[in-house]
């Protein structure tokens, strides 16, 4: 993780004064369903359910695909009600995670009674994952297993189906990306002898990356779009601008964090890939893959190819809620009617009017924009950008 981002996350607690705890060492409630696999101590990790102290339909608490009309305060409020139970296992001890896996495969919220070794405390925020409330090691857990989603169940019991193919198959069948990520983290898919637990943070990126690459394998053979396009969406103190260009696939995501978020000055981070794709892990983390997936999904619908640049501004009131925020925010952006232009200079000039940061600063920090502009005369664009 980039050092500045980590510093910001460490200040979340004092800045917003979130203090959630459970007044008992016992809990009964309906998990959305939701599970969490930690990564600290890998290959021995903590696994367990996320459970609120309430019964009924709690599915909204862990379904990011349904949060597009929610405010940050709404999401934080119900996420911090989720109490995390923990038990320590090795990643290859998938048999010990059977109950946790059953929760992840469940179609509906599942009733859980859990006893902790001590009262749960603390809260959790991370830029890649949804926040949740207090946690503690549990000594006993009883579940009332509900029905599995039959599509997930079929993939789970197919012990000859590669995990990579299971992810793609479930996605093509309409399963939410967030549901696939949870099941994948519990070792639910893959060749039987190779199955293992995957930390939640890694599973989120792995699924977004796998699906993005899968869709892009088709897009690279489609004809180019016919114009320059600018898409826009703003939500939860984030502004997303997407510029599509009539060139072969190239992609860059840029993130700008305003002062008071990760320091006393504006910080911009970026990473990119060319036509052949990205081999190493993206420097900016999971948001790179979630944004790429959203763009690829739109291009696949149109059966078109384009180069894409994402300009994201995170404003001072921004709170990290997980990469779902980027994936779903980008999906909203790509579902809207775009502004269309005949030239790149016109597209950049329009984008400049929708952003707080001057376009020249974006260009200075960008790999792809500088590359594309220097292939022509830079002076051709500066008049319209300034």
220 lies in a domain?
Answer: no
> pLDDT tens for residues 281-331?
999 999 999 999 999 999 999 999 999 999 999 998 888 899 999 999 999
Average pLDDT over residues 268-285: 95
Q: How far apart are CA 360 and CA 352, in angstroms?
A: 9
- Same-domain pairing of 53 and 87: yes
Asked, for residue 28, whether it belongs to a domain, the answer is yes
Indicate whether 276 and 196 sit together in one domain.
no
Neighbours of 154 (CB within 10 A): 15
Q: What is the pLDDT of residue 11?
A: 54
Asked if 200 and 298 sit in the same domain, the reply is no
Out of 212, 242, 272, a domain closes at 212
Q: What is the pLDDT of residue 298?
A: 98
- Specify if 222 maps to a domain: no
367 and 264 co-located in one domain? yes
How many structural domains does the chain have? 2
Q: Is beta strand 26-31 parallel, antiparallel or unpaired with respect to 110-116?
A: antiparallel
Domain-embedded: residue 217: no
Question: Can you read off the two tokens belonging to residue 198?
Answer: 């995957």
pLDDT band at 57 (very low <50, low <70, confident <90, very high): very high
Residue 383 has pLDDT above 50, yes or no: no
| Residue 262, pLDDT score | 58
Is 223 within the bounds of a domain?
Answer: no
| 11 found inside a domain | yes
What average pLDDT does this structure show over 15-30?
74
Residues 201 and 289 in one domain: no
> In the structure, what pLDDT confidence band is assigned to residue 377 with cuts at 50, 70 and 90?
very low
The answer to whether residues 253 and 323 belong to one domain is yes
Q: Which two tokens stand for residue 43?
A: 């290959």
Q: Which of 163-177, 181-195, 309-323 has the lowest mean pLDDT?
A: 309-323
DSSP string, 326-353: HHHHHHHHHHSPPEEESSHHHHHHHHHH
Same domain membership, residue 280 and residue 177? no
Note the pLDDT of residue 77.
87
**Does residue 52 contact residue 132 with C-beta atoms inside 8 Å?**
no
C-alpha triplet 5, 235, 170: angle, nearest 5° = 85
Domain annotation covers residue 221:
no
- Give yes or no: residues 272 and 146 share one domain: no
Q: Report the half-sphere exposure of 375 (CA within 13 A, side-chain side).
A: 6
Q: Which of 161, 182, 212 is the last residue of a domain?
A: 212
For residue 54, being part of any structural domain is answered with yes
User: Is pLDDT at 382 greater than 60 in this prediction?
Assistant: no
One domain for residues 323 and 175: no
Domain of residue 298 covers 228-385
Decide if pLDDT at 224 tops 80.
Answer: yes
């Amino acid at each position: 993780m980039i050092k500045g981002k980590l510093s910001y996350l460490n200040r979340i607690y004092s800045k917003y004064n979130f203090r959630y705890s459970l007044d008992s060492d016992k809990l009964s409630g309906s998990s959305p369903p939701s599970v969490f696999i930690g990564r600290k101590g890998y290959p021995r990790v903590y696994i367990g359910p996320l459970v609120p102290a309430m019964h009924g339909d709690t599915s909204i608490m862990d379904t990011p695909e349904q949060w597009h009309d929610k405010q940050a305060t709404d999401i934080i409020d119900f996420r911090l009600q989720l109490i995390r139970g923990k038990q320590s296992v090795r990643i290859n001890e998938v048999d010990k995670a059977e109950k946790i896996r059953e929760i992840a495969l469940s179609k509906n919220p599942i009733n859980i009674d859990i006893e902790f070794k001590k009262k749960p405390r603390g809260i959790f925020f991370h830029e890649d994952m949804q926040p949740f409330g207090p946690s503690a090691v549990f000594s006993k857990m009883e579940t009332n297993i509900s029905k599995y989603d039959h599509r997930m169940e079929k993939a789970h019991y197919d012990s000859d189906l590669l995990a990579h193919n299971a992810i793609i198959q479930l996605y093509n069948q309409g399963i939410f990306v967030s549901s696939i990520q949870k099941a994948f983290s519990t070792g639910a898919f893959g060749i039987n002898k190779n199955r293992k637990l995957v930390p939640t943070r890694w599973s989120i990126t792995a699924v977004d990356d796998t699906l993005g690459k899968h869709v892009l394998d088709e897009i690279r053979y489609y004809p180019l779009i016919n114009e320059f396009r600018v898409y826009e969406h703003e939500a939860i103190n984030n502004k997303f601008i997407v510029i599509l260009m009539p060139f072969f696939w190239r992609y860059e995501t840029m993130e700008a964090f305003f002062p008071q978020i990760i320091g006393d000055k504006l910080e911009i981070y970026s990473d990119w890939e060319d036509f052949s794709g990205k081999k190493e892990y993206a420097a900016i983390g999971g948001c790179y893959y979630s944004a790429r997936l959203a763009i690829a999904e739109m291009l696949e619908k149109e059966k078109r190819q384009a180069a894409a640049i994402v300009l994201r501004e995170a404003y001072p009131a921004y709170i990290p809620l997980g990469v779902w925020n980027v994936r779903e925010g980008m999906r909203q952006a790509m579902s809207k009617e775009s502004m269309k232009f005949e030239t790149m200079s016109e597209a950049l000039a329009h984008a400049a009017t929708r952003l707080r940061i001057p376009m020249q600063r974006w260009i200075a920090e960008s790999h792809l924009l500088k590359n594309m502009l220097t292939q022509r005369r830079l002076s051709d664009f500066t008049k319209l950008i300034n």
